[in-house]
Amino acid sequence: MRRSSLLTRAALVILIAALFPFAASAAECDDYSLSWSKAPKAGTVKADQGPRLHFQRVEAGCPGSDTCKAKAYLVPGDKVILDDTGETWICAYFQGPKRGTFGWLPRTALAIEDKPPVPRKQDWVGRWRVGENLILIDDTQGPKLHFEGWARRMATFSLSMFEFTKSPSSNKVIDKSGGGTCVVKIYWLAELLLVNNTMDCAGLGNSFIGVYRRTALTTDPKAEH
């Protein structure tokens, strides 16, 4: 009976995936999937998209239907970070004044930067946050930048950190100084940081993965907003 139940459940999963092809991708537009994108890019909402471009919700059966339209919307000129898969609908993230929004957007509605602009040194410097995580970047150690990051989860009293000094290559920096097992990748896109890391960089329940917004132009906590 146990084996029969498992087979029936597996068959049901396969049937749902066949009938609802978007169901499998519904959970693939979030901070994790975007941070591990093979083609993370920045994009701008085109002027010919009308006054409002609504996100499509990240849920089963979406995107592609009028019932998927979310309340959140963008206006021409808004910048997003996106996963440029080349598909009709692509995962995008918009950072508002207080919070960010993930969702699906039609690729044709965006002017996508195929070659990311090279940020200035000062574009990296400051305090960057997402949730309980914090990254500090300063330029006080010569021509290179100094990176320090803390990932914490107060609910489990766990804390992880990284620290390295390196010069970015174009709009990204990759550090493997933790013996090669801990790899941290940081992309600068649309004035945000897109970060991912291997499992060896963080403790149980911790991760540096996410989209970080700059909360101060220096590392001084008094300058934070």
Domain-located, residue 7: no
DSSP characters for 137-186?
EE--STTSEEEEEEEEETTTTEEEEEEEEE--BTTEEEEEEETTTEEEEE
pTM (two decimals): 0.84
> b/e string for 111-124 if b means 16 or more Cβ within 10 A?
eebeebeeeeeebb
Q: Note whether 128 and 218 are same-domain residues.
A: yes
Quote the tokens at residue 177: 């100084």
The whole-angstrom separation of Cα 76 and Cα 32 is 27
Note the pLDDT of residue 155: 59
* Three-state secondary structure call for residue 10: helix
- Over the stretch 79-128, which tens digit does the pLDDT of each residue have? 999 999 999 999 999 999 889 999 999 999 999 999 988 999 999 999 99
Domain assignment present for residue 95? The answer is: yes
191 lies in which domain range? 121-223
At residue 157, what are phi and psi to the nearest 5 degrees? 55, 40
Question: What is the predicted pLDDT for the residue at 14?
Answer: 37
Q: So what's the pLDDT on residue 66?
A: 82
> What's the confidence (pLDDT) of residue 156?
60
- The confidence score (pLDDT) of residue 126 equals 98
Residue type present at position 221: P
Looking at the fold, whether 187 and 215 belong to one and the same domain comes out as yes
Q: Is the domain of 183 the same as that of 216?
A: yes
Considering the domain boundaries, does residue 9 fall inside one?
no
Give the pLDDT means over successive 10-residue stretches in the chain (225 positions): 36 38 56 94 95 95 91 97 95 94 97 94 97 95 93 73 94 87 94 94 84 96 87
Rounded-to-integer distance, Cα 116 and Cα 83, Å: 13
**2 within domain boundaries:** no
